[in-house]
Structure 1
C-alpha cells in the first residue's frame, strides 16, 4: 500500500491563511488601491528584500545585530539561576522581589538615551539594552515555575536524603523547564525590540539603523522588507527553541 504524505494541520492551516492574506494584499496593491508612498505590497517587498540580500547589505546589518542580541541574551540567562534561587528560598524572594517588580515594570525603552549616555554609542549600549529587556521575563517565569513544583515530590526527595543540589537537579529544575522555555520565548521578542530601538537611536549599522534609514528616505517597501526579515528571524528562533524543548523535556510533547 502507498503511504500518503500527511501534512500537519498545525502547518497547513496557518500556511493556507497566510497565502490567502498575501493574495488579497497583493490584489489591492496591483490594482492601485494601496499608495506605495504610504504602504506597499508583497511583490514589491520581496523585490526589495532580494536587492539588499544580493548586495550583501542585509548580512552586514544582521551580523552586527546578531552579535548584540547574542551577547546580551547570553547575559540575560543569568535570570535562570536567580529565578531558581528566588523561587526556592523565601528570604531571597522577600528581599529582591520588590526590586525585580519595579525594574520589570519600568519602561526600559524610555531609558535608551540613558543607556547610550552610560555605555557609549558603540556595541556595548545595545548589548546592555538587550540584557535589560530580556533578563526579567526569564527570571520571573523561572521563579513562577519553581513555585508550581509539586510539594510532594520535594518532600519525597528530602525523605530519601537528597541534598539541595540533587533536589534542584532531579526535581525542581525538570519541573521548571517549561516555564524557563516560556520565559526565553518572551525574552526573544523583547531582545529584538531592544536591539532595534537602540540601533534606531544611536547606530550607523544594524537592522534598527537600516529600518530608520529606509523610513527617513520614505522607502516604504524597503522599510517593510527589513521588518519582514525580523519577523522571520523571530519565528525561526522560536521554532528552534521548541525543538530544544522537545530534546530536553520530551515528556512535555
Structure 2
C-alpha cells in the first residue's frame, strides 16, 4: 500500500511570533484596573462619603477641569522649577559619595555627620528653612536639596564599596592612575547604585516641595493641595495628588530608560 502524504499549507504570517505585552506593563495595568473598578463601585454604591473621600470618576472630572483652565500647568511650572534647581544641586552627592566610598579616612571623618543629617526629620525643619531663606523660591529649593542629597550620596558610597576588589587590583597592576580608576572601574560599577539613589531622591524631592509649598507658598502643587483641602474639595485635592503620582512614575520610568542606555549590561 502506498503511503499518502498530506501537506498542510500554513500561512507564513501565522508562523511569525506574536509580540507579547511585557509583564512589567501588563501586570501593573491589570492590577490598577481592578483597584479602580472596585474603588469606583464603592463610590457608586455610596460606600464612600464624598465629603471625606472621592472616587475615580469624580477625580477624573476635576482633573479635566483644571487641565482645561490651565491652572495645573501654572502650579506645575513653579513646582517643577523648584524641584529642578534643588535636585540639580543634590547631584553633588555623586562625587562626594565616590570620594567618601573610595578614601577610607574621608569616610571615617564625615560618615557620622552624613548619617545624623540623613536620619534627621528634615520636614520638621521647614519653618527654619523659611526663616533662613524667606517665603520665596529659595526656601523650597533648599528643602528639595536637603532631602534629596543624602539618598544619592549614601547609595553612591555603597556602590563604590561593592566594586569588585579583583577589578581594582587589575587596574592598579596595569598602572592605572586615580583618575582612570574612577573613570574606568569605580564609576561604572557604582552606576546601578547611583541610579537607585536618584530614584529614591525623586520621591523625597517631591515630598519636600509639596510640604514646603503647603506651609509657606502661594503657588505650586503643594499650595493647590492645601487650598483644595481647606475648602473641603476632596475630589480636586485628590486630583492634584494623582498628578503628582503620575509625574513621579514618569520620572522613574525615564530614569530606568536612562540606566539602560548608560549601563546596558544591567538590563536583565
Match of 2:59 among 39, 45, 49: 45
Give the TM-score, by structure 2 length: 0.94
Counterpart Cα distance in 2 of 1:153 and 1:91: 22
Matched, 1:226 2:233: no
Partner residue of 1:20?
34
Alignment of 1:190 onto 2:204: yes
For 1:23-61, what per-residue CA distance to the aligned partner results, in whole angstroms no more than 9, with x for missing partners? 111111111111100000000000000100000100000
Q: 1:40 & 1:179 partners in 2: Cα distance?
A: 38
Q: 2: distance between equivalents of 1:134 and 1:231?
A: 18
Question: Are residues 1:85 and 2:99 paired?
Answer: yes
* TM-score, normalised by the number of residues in structure 1: 0.99
C-alpha distance in 1 between matches for 2:48 and 2:108 = 55
- Provide the rounded CA distance (Å) in 2 between the counterparts of 1:236 and 1:83: 26
* Residue aligned with 1:152, SS: helix
**Does 2:114 match 1:100?**
yes
Q: Which residue of 2 is the match for residue 165 of structure 1? A: 179
Residue 25 of structure 2 aligns to a residue in which SS?
A: helix
What are the Cα deviations for residues 139-177 of structure 1, in whole angstroms up to 9, with x where unaligned?
000001000100111011011010000010000000000
Instruction: Give the alignment's Cα RMSD to 1 decimal.
Output: 0.6
- Select the residue among 202, 205, 211 that pairs with 2:219: 205
Aligned residue-pair number: 253
Q: Superposed, which structure 2 residues align to 1:91-130 within 5 Å?
A: 91-130=105-144
Instruction: Using the TM superposition, give the Cα deviation of residue 233 of structure 1 relative to its aligned residue in structure 2, in angstroms.
Output: 0.3
CA distance, structure 2, for counterparts of residue 75 and residue 31 of structure 1: 49
- Paired position in structure 2 for 1:236: 250
Q: Distance in 1 between matches of 2:107 and 2:31?
A: 45
1:136 paired residue among 118, 135, 150: 150
Q: Which consecutive residues of structure 2, in runs of 5 or more, have no partner in the other structure?
A: 1-12
Secondary structure (helix, strand or coil) at the match of 1:115 reads: helix
Q: Which residues of structure 1 form unaligned runs of 5+?
A: none
How far is the alpha carbon of 1:199 from its aligned partner?
0.1
3-state secondary structure, aligned to 1:32: coil
